[in-house]
Structure 1
Amino acid sequence: MNGIRKVNAGRATQCVWAFFVSTIAYNYAGHFAYASETFNPNFLQTSGGNNITTDLSVFENKSQPEGVYVVDIWLNGTFVETKPVNFHSRQDASRALPEPCLNVELLATYGVRTTAFPELINDDKGCTEITVIPQASATFNFNLQRLDLSIPQAAMQNSARGFVSSEQFDEGITALLLNYRFSGAQNKALSLSSRDNDSQYLNLRPGLNFGAWRLRNYGTWNRNSLSGGNGKWDSLYTYLQRNIVPLKAQLTLGESTSPAEIFEGVPFRGAQLASDDEMLPESLRGYAPVVKGTARTNAQVIIRQNGYIIYQSYVAPGAFEITDLYATGGSGDLYVTVKEADGSEQTLVVPYASLPVLVREGYLKYSLTTGQYRPYDNAVEKKAFSQATAIYGLPWNFTLYGGTQAAASYQSVAFGIGKNVGRFGAFSGDVINAWSTVKNAARTDGQSLRVRYSKNFYETGTNFAIAGYRYSTRDYYSLPELMDTWRSGVSSSLREQARNRTELTLNQNLGSAAGSVSVSLLREDYWRTERRMESISTSYNNSYKGISYGIGYSYSRNSQNATRTRSYERNQIFIFNISIPLDRWLSNSWVNYTVAHSKPGNTSHSVGLGGTALENNNLYWNVRQGYTTAGKGNSGSVDGGYRGTYGELTGGYSYDHDMRRLNYGVEGGMILHANGLTLSQAFGNTAALIKAPGAGGVQVTNQTGVKTDFRGYTVTPNLTPYRRANVMLDTTTLSSDVDLDLSTQSVVPTRGAIVRATFSAQIGGRAMMSLIYQGQPVPFGAVVKDAGEQNKQIYIVGDEGQVYLNSLKPSGVLQVQWGKSSDQQCRVNYLLPEKKSENGIQMLNGVCQ
């Protein structure tokens, strides 16, 4: 029924035209391959004696009518984008060939060296002749609605695979932004070892976009009734940032953290100009980490970085994995605390992946930073400093890098070299020499040596990276270590200085049927103290016919004293889990079993049932029942969440021997823009605002729970900056009286941009109309359009004078034409019934006069 559509949504007419051209034009072409093709319209006459014929001259020579077509544009065999293109006729000998209207600016965004061809200019219609470029051509496949552009490589910019021209970058709209996340819990004590308490955590990330400028803030509020009941507010950073495209860099003014490839990342308040690798094509580019752990009970997980709480949530017993950490603009290890329901705590440290410093030949990566040191502890003096780093790619797979830091009480110089040694992997090594003056102490100097190595063993499926740090002298201080000794009101306060630090991460793929193994290790000790920190975790995971299972082990040890009478806090957990899908009995659901043994501690068993529901899996739920030894007894929980257009709601209830807990949470975002306020799911730093007025309740493709609101607006939450993204609406979710001219929009956002993806919604009735002229059906191939809207929408008549129409007003006049003479056109008045049909398509008869 809907195969007959308007020309400016050319895909809709594909079936009719394909049948028409293939059965007539190509049959003639097959017999007379070199003859001029002519359609005989008499073949289209009906058996009822209708002598009305259609002027088919426009279809000769395998042509198509002029107009705007929505086409897929391919350049040298690579898909570029989908967009409307105007096709207009030009005279070529005796043939009228509709040609695509392409302008010079568009070709430049595709990477064509337009300045190398002076004759490549736009005419009075805003179109250029692509054939000005030698051996260039544009070929349109009408049946596939595909426009192939063939441009010789010599006429293209010398760009890498994945290159996107900066002329296509979209700085986005002016808008006020806010992301929020609020969670809380009420705990009721059931034993003497526990106390009633309640806690709340709020995470706010407001922002403002104006042109290329981005103003951002990251703030958290945390409250616990056991800590006096007063909430504590922390501002992690506030900065103003913009991209400098010619320099492939970001300018940051305000609070941020310096790059950490060479020196330890330094939190600062000031200014920074640093390379932005995201501007490079993907093929020329060389991280928030994934946090994994195990909970013995219904536990609270708190993640700190640089002293700030950056994440807080609640998890059920068993293994957990946190992948939705927001980038904090900084670096540093993540300190994870798992607060169990019985009051005990376990801690683990998740290091940032530290890979060798390598860049491609000829590429310079740099950073310039100046400002004040921004400590977490307000008692530390905010002393001024500057930092400069550079990384440059040399021939023969070498990389040279270095930098310097300078402050009134500190100077350092770094030098390093990296090398890609092919099948042996990649490594880098560097040395830092620092001159430090601790408050009220003499000047000292020290050195730090570092070696890093990484390798993918494709033959065995192994990937590992190892980084070893050795601070070779007692008098070496990093800049943050030295700054933290300068405290107000005291002579000095010596911070622990790391002496040896070793990191190891290993992932081994054992084959498609044997699963995978992962191991991570972190060990660090310090000068002037006997404290030592160790953390080890390993796991094995596999699946068989949809059944997934795994075992894991984690160990952590932290010494408590700074003397030789060292005492340790040790935690060990062994865990086994298995998950079995129940799709044969209950769709989108599974049952799982977990057993965990902790030392010191106990053994816990739990069985759970979980799944997702609703059309787009918006709703997720879990029910669990467990038992723990050592007198802890039974435990259980029920929790779930709903992810919709306006955000995400979560909630749950759990109990065990010591406590009952009710937890809740809400997360979402909002954008205030020129067209009003749009509520949405929480979105990343770069997103798209969808504008489709009149098309409310339309699902966004590949986005769980994201639909346009009642006004036709919504947000696509996460886009990659400087990369082309296709924002698509699912046309199957349109209401019966709404059609879209285009269901896909291509955008290329810059970092932090909120780009607008505008969709034109045609609102009106749908009808299948049988057109009668002089007692006979209007001929096949006749063109129908609204008499009051010139060329905006065009429809094609099918068999027996039937035509599918959409976006109709309640009443109106249609103009029908099948030739150029006056007796080959007519008009029909129509009136849509007030009562709509079940499928939304009205069946009408129209008398053409």
Structure 2
Amino acid sequence: MNYTKDGVVVRLKYNKCKTLLFLSASVGTFLFSSGSYAKEYFNPHLLETTETSVPPVDLSLFSEESVPPGEYNLDVYINGAFIDSGTIPFKLMGKGGSDDASVLPCLTIDQLKKWNVAVDNYPDLAKGSDSCANLSAIPESTIKIKMANQRLELTFPQVAMLRSARGYVPEEKWDDGINAGLLNYNLSGQTSTPRNGGASTNSQFVSLQPGINLGPWRLRNYSTYNHDDERQQWDSVYSTISRDIRALKSQLTIGESNTTAGVFDSQAFTGAQLSSDVEMLPDSMQGFAPVIRGIARSNAEVTVYQNGYNIYKTTVPPGAFEINDMYPTGSSGDLHVVVKESDGSEQSFIVPYASLAVLQRPGQMKYAVSAGKTRASDSRVKEFNFIQSSVAYGLLDSTTLYGGFQQAEDKYTNLLIGTGLNLGTIGAVSVDVSQAWAQIKKSQTAEQTDKESGQSYRIRFSKDFPQTGTDISVAGYRYSTSGYYSLDDFTDTYSSYDTDYHFYNAGRQRNRFDATLSQNTAYGSVNLSLVSEAYWDRSRTDSISVGYSNSWNNISYFMNYSYNHNVAGGSGSGATNNDSTVSLTVSVPFSIFSHNPTYSSINANYNVSGSKNGPTVHNVGLNGLAFDDNSLNWQVQEGYTSDTRKTSGNVNASYQGSKGNITGGYGYDQYNERFNYGLQGGMVAHSGGVTLSRSLNETVALVQAPGIQDAPINGQINIHTDSWGNAVVPYVRPYHENMVNLDGQQMADRDADIENVTKTVVPTRGAVVRARYQTYLGYRAMMTLSYQNKPVPFGAIVTSANDSTDGDMSKSNIVGEDGQVYLAGLQDKGVLLVKWGDGSDQQCHVNYSLNPQPNEIAIVAAPCVQ
């Protein structure tokens, strides 16, 4: 184990008897102020129970409540919060003679700045030695080291810290990651055989997302391949190169992309775009949340509740206070604020709250600027050079102004202006109006264009009513006049379709109403989704879905009604396509019948559905999870169609592996038999080779623990290191701290040791950030060392040379009682250096030879000679 000052704990784990042996040699926990340092003396001769010729151990460093000078891998905490981790040097510092010197952590001014310490307020910090900050310049500061936990704990008064929003991560910690190649792949296929004779048909679909990272630059592509018995086709959906612009808190994207949605509808284009990236902001500054203001009569504790949950707590001094770093919580309920004074008395008030996408915090701005050429999926549609910009700015506590501009050459212009309002108990609402001028073609063969102009009005609303359990997530209405053309409508008129009907009746939207609502009651939950659209070519689309769900004794059931109404105006016939469906689903967990863990993940389910234009179908089946990590998902289902009295069936399984996912299934009905299969995954090419993975998210972490094979990653389903000690964590959050943990419990049964199993990474968007672990490979041993026929002195330091991918690494260990020391990462033969003082008679070396059984700890007695 690593050198520790709090104490030495040696743990022996035998595979068969699982016996734990503990050797604890407590050297004491120390706490010292940067302003004064106690130097209590401990007489090392008190450790001697018999006369010995062994020179006494030099415990002066421990008596000074310090650690030996050197470098230590530590987690840094300031005022109880994790700040950073890394190698911290400890040096002997002080003025005058040795009695005034102490071994202290050597922290630089730049480090303290990065950790948000107000260094400019303390000029004496620069008066330290060897570029080490003079921490005694900050009054009331303390330093505490817990080497057993590998923690350096610093305490500074609040006035010595710069105030930052909760969730703030300094830009200095943002990591662009390593140069790497990436690939996501998805392969699916199906073979279908008619049951009443005929030839089988085959089809395959492949999607590939290759990418390259070079410093802060991200090159990405998305391509697809379709194949069946009649045709095959490759398509490049998009190719982009992008990077972040930190000074603007923005992303620059060049290539084939889409404009940002919100103000205008998203538009596919080829060109360049600069847009705000809200992930660069702290969590507490993302989205919209109201500013809370109040008055405290004393040093008071302010607590904020929402829907009965405590979501915020802070302490404020007497006088007026303002809380402007609330975490956004979506379209949730009002904020209940409780101010508890120092005498125990309380005052409370309510801050009405609702959220909408266009709302911004006061003083915050979100923007996007795009320029290039429109991009259509249909080659018959003409492409135009265009520019688009949008901006939203938080003007007041409850008001946001936003607007936008679109220009396509000299033939199309659109101006939009709107406002978002937090109306308190009423809800959050945004209202905008856009004016468009367009020169359109009304005939495929016409050379001249007609000028059209019109307006589009839109209102959006959201609100949560916790008293009634009602949540209106989205409710919006939009109306456009007959002369209004959106950018998509405009480009569609410049197309080469076979008939002129498309030009006169382009399916332009006249009005739209949409709503998403949920209602919780004591008797279950009701959900409503509604979309109704009407077009200027007299067609319309209506879609309604109403669902009800509840449970009884862990048996859950769900009922749903959906209605879809469409008028097909494309052919001009006005033929109506209407359909409605009613369904009921019941799920029964096997856990209600047995507490056996084998059945805990198995569910039986029944579903019946009937539609206006289709038959009534009954399905009954089983589904569940398998393996200890629930990596296998399976389903068996049998169906019956009452109208035709025919049966159908399906068997499906999917396995979520460390290097990808695989799916397969078989199904049949009265018409066909079908076999389907799929393979999804990813890979990362880096300087250490190629590491296979599950499908990659935009930003990933590459775990590197050289020589540690098949080690699980905590918090990930069935992700383990490969034979080179590499693994990919496919989902990490950009610009935020992500903890990556190797399962240290798995190391107990291995001939290996890892230094600090937890790593913190802060990747930029699209990065492949490295989480590298220092590993020590070799045997483990409990050695009893003797010097001149007596045990090596208590507190002596043992150092071994260990082979690793980084070269020779020195690992220190401390000798406990009776000369015993625990060592890891040893070769079968080697030399140990033992030191308990600076004198030549206070050092010796051990030539050792080991032959232990695999994954067991060798018990060795060895002499130490000069």
Please say whether Structure 1 and Structure 2 have the same fold, judged by a TM-score greater than 0.5. Answer: yes
Look up the match of 2:821.
Answer: 803
Report the CA distance shift for 1:195/1:454 in structure 2 as closer, same or farther (over 3 A). farther
For the aligned residue pairs, the C-alpha RMSD in angstroms reads: 3.2
Look up the match of 1:658.
Answer: 671
SS in 2 for 1:586: helix
> What amino acid maps onto 2:76 in structure 1?
I
The answer as to 2:609 corresponding to 1:597 is yes
Look up the match of 1:189.
Answer: 194
SS in 1 for 2:362: coil
How far off its partner does 1:121 sit? 4.5
The answer as to 2:454 corresponding to 1:453 is no
Report the CA distance shift for 1:554/1:96 in structure 2 as closer, same or farther (over 3 A). farther
How far off its partner does 1:98 sit? 2.9
SS in 2 for 1:699: coil
Report the CA distance shift for 1:603/1:488 in structure 2 as closer, same or farther (over 3 A). closer
Report the CA distance shift for 1:95/1:75 in structure 2 as closer, same or farther (over 3 A). same
Look up the match of 2:862.
Answer: 846
The answer as to 2:26 corresponding to 1:20 is yes
Bigger Cα displacement from structure 2, 216-225 vs 556-565: 556-565
Q: Give 1:577's match in structure 2, choosing from 573, 579, 586.
A: 586
Contact 1:7/1:67 (8 A) holds in 2: no
How far off its partner does 1:788 sit? 9.3
Q: Give 2:475's match in structure 1, choosing from 467, 482, 485.
A: 467
How far off its partner does 1:765 sit? 1.2
How far off its partner does 1:277 sit? 1.1
Contact 1:588/1:613 (8 A) holds in 2: no
Look up the match of 1:205.
Answer: 209
Q: For structure 2, which runs of at least 5 residues remain unmatched after alignment?
A: 12-21, 288-354, 442-447
Alignment of 1:100-115 (within 5 A): 100-114=105-119
Distance 1:6 1:717 in 2: 31
Look up the match of 1:240.
Answer: 241
Look up the match of 1:831.
Answer: 849
Contact 1:74/1:81 (8 A) holds in 2: yes
> What amino acid maps onto 2:414 in structure 1?
S
Distance 2:407 2:861 in 1: 85
Distance 1:425 1:596 in 2: 39
Report the CA distance shift for 1:814/1:652 in structure 2 as closer, same or farther (over 3 A). same
Distance 1:398 1:277 in 2: 19
1:107-156 CA-to-partner distances (Å, cap 9, x unmatched) read 23223344565554497755323344455443334555432333444554
Distance 2:151 2:468 in 1: 43
Look up the match of 1:273.
Answer: 274
How far off its partner does 1:425 sit? 2.1
Look up the match of 1:413.
Answer: 415
Report the CA distance shift for 1:10/1:250 in structure 2 as closer, same or farther (over 3 A). farther
The answer as to 2:511 corresponding to 1:507 is no
Look up the match of 1:740.
Answer: 754
Look up the match of 2:145.
Answer: 140
How far off its partner does 1:386 sit? 1.0
Look up the match of 2:315.
Answer: none
Distance 1:278 1:712 in 2: 31
How far off its partner does 1:237 sit? 1.5
Report the CA distance shift for 1:760/1:791 in structure 2 as closer, same or farther (over 3 A). closer
Look up the match of 1:769.
Answer: 783
The answer as to 2:640 corresponding to 1:627 is yes
1:693-725 CA-to-partner distances (Å, cap 9, x unmatched) read 222222122111221211122211011111111
Report the CA distance shift for 1:233/1:533 in structure 2 as closer, same or farther (over 3 A). farther
Contact 2:222/2:237 (8 A) holds in 1: yes
SS in 2 for 1:528: coil
How far off its partner does 1:759 sit? 1.4
Q: For structure 1, which runs of at least 5 residues remain unmatched after alignment?
A: 287-353
Q: Give 1:6's match in structure 2, choosing from 2, 26, 31.
A: 2
Look up the match of 2:444.
Answer: none
Look up the match of 2:321.
Answer: none
Distance 2:556 2:57 in 1: 64
Q: Give 1:671's match in structure 2, choosing from 656, 675, 684.
A: 684
> What amino acid maps onto 2:562 in structure 1?
S
1:588-621 CA-to-partner distances (Å, cap 9, x unmatched) read 5312212121213334333333333334333332
Distance 1:462 1:79 in 2: 39
Look up the match of 2:541.
Answer: 532
Contact 1:9/1:69 (8 A) holds in 2: no
The answer as to 2:66 corresponding to 1:63 is yes
Distance 1:738 1:806 in 2: 7
Distance 1:519 1:247 in 2: 40
Distance 2:108 2:469 in 1: 49
Query: What fraction of aligned residue pairs are identical, expressed as a percent?
Result: 40
Contact 2:539/2:566 (8 A) holds in 1: no
Report the CA distance shift for 1:419/1:543 in structure 2 as closer, same or farther (over 3 A). farther
Report the CA distance shift for 1:197/1:539 in structure 2 as closer, same or farther (over 3 A). farther
SS in 1 for 2:602: strand
Contact 2:557/2:584 (8 A) holds in 1: no
1:321-375 CA-to-partner distances (Å, cap 9, x unmatched) read xxxxxxxxxxxxxxxxxxxxxxxxxxxxxxxxx9441001111111111111101
SS in 2 for 1:108: helix
Report the CA distance shift for 1:838/1:154 in structure 2 as closer, same or farther (over 3 A). same
Report the CA distance shift for 1:89/1:614 in structure 2 as closer, same or farther (over 3 A). farther
> What amino acid maps onto 2:716 in structure 1?
Q
Contact 1:444/1:475 (8 A) holds in 2: yes
Look up the match of 2:102.
Answer: 97
Distance 1:62 1:656 in 2: 78
Bigger Cα displacement from structure 2, 359-368 vs 783-792: 783-792
SS in 2 for 1:422: coil
Bigger Cα displacement from structure 2, 54-63 vs 712-721: 54-63
1:388-432 CA-to-partner distances (Å, cap 9, x unmatched) read 111111123210011111122211110101111233321110001
Alignment of 1:419-498 (within 5 A): 419-439=421-441, 440-488=448-496, 493=503, 494-498=505-509
How far off its partner does 1:623 sit? 2.7
Distance 1:756 1:567 in 2: 58
Distance 1:150 1:772 in 2: 42
> What amino acid maps onto 1:387 in structure 2?
Q
Bigger Cα displacement from structure 2, 661-670 vs 570-579: 570-579
Q: Give 1:38's match in structure 2, choosing from 31, 37, 41.
A: 41
Distance 1:107 1:699 in 2: 35
Contact 2:54/2:788 (8 A) holds in 1: no
Bigger Cα displacement from structure 2, 675-684 vs 67-76: 67-76
Look up the match of 1:616.
Answer: 629
How far off its partner does 1:564 sit? 8.2
How far off its partner does 1:848 sit? 2.1
1:2-43 CA-to-partner distances (Å, cap 9, x unmatched) read xxx1228999759989862459x99xx9xxxx9963334344
Look up the match of 2:563.
Answer: 555
SS in 1 for 2:583: strand
Distance 1:181 1:489 in 2: 34
Look up the match of 1:293.
Answer: none
Distance 2:574 2:2 in 1: 84
How far off its partner does 1:59 sit? 2.0
Distance 2:550 2:127 in 1: 60
SS in 1 for 2:538: coil
Contact 1:643/1:705 (8 A) holds in 2: yes
How far off its partner does 1:674 sit? 2.2
Look up the match of 1:644.
Answer: 657
Bigger Cα displacement from structure 2, 571-580 vs 631-640: 631-640
> What amino acid maps onto 1:616 in structure 2?
D
Please report the TM-score for the alignment, with normalisation by the length of structure 1. Answer: 0.83
Q: Give 1:818's match in structure 2, choosing from 799, 824, 836.
A: 836
Look up the match of 1:74.
Answer: 77
Contact 1:171/1:753 (8 A) holds in 2: yes
Look up the match of 1:384.
Answer: 385
> What amino acid maps onto 2:153 in structure 1?
D
Distance 1:201 1:135 in 2: 66
